[in-house]
Amino acid sequence: MQLSALFRAALVGQDLDYLATTDDVAFGLDGEGRIAMFNDASLRFAAAEGGGERALPRLGQGYLAVVPDVLRPFYRDLFQHVRASGVAHSHDYQCSSPTRFRLFRLRVQPLTRDDLLLIHRLVEVREHTMQRPPEPLVIAAYRGEDGLIRQCAHCRCVRRVSSPATWDWVPELLGAPGMDVSFGMCPPCVSSYLRSSRAVSVEG
């Protein structure tokens, strides 16, 4: 676990052994929204997602800098609400891999007036049941005129160019090299996970 010296006082009363050894991904944020603590599970998760060195967390890095643009207003408002209210918040969100459906639960806990503890826990993992697009896959069906593929920032489905209301589960496009991706939100994810955020755009 990596921990800034100033943040250690905020963790008084927390189980540091748990934070260091759990498979839950844990981050500590200071009052400026910078990463002041992260555990080994966060490194393992980032490495497994294939983002390379740039995806690994660093002390002092802004947490929202690694969040897709479309989700930043939601999380900015959420963190502000938890700080102001002093009450923890939890919500579930989907972040599937190419081979598995994965549902996570995020708990945002106030530690001090400014400092927060974020715990991402995997609560469900199973084989995908999402419907696949008709074969053969044609990348052009998902790449817009601007060359970008629109991907949901939560479930990672991609939007059909010919039918913008249709978002398909296309695991072949997840993490494929050379794919330029613009993140948005598909309608089911807006409805299911971010009901409280009027700032989230479906289109991206």
- Domains assigned to the chain: 2-127 (3.30.450.20), 139-193 (no CATH)
- Mean pLDDT: which of 35-39, 138-142, 180-184 is highest? 35-39
- Mean pLDDT for the stretch of residues 169-196: 74
- Mean pLDDT for the stretch of residues 135-147: 82
Residue that is written with structure tokens 């250690």 in the block: 8
Contacts of 43 (CB under 8 A, 6+ apart): 56, 57
Backbone angles phi, psi at 171, to 5 degrees: -60, -25
Q: Do 176 and 98 form a contact (C-beta atoms < 8 A)?
A: no
- Mean pLDDT for the stretch of residues 147-174: 87
The pTM of the full predicted model, rounded to 2 decimals, is 0.81
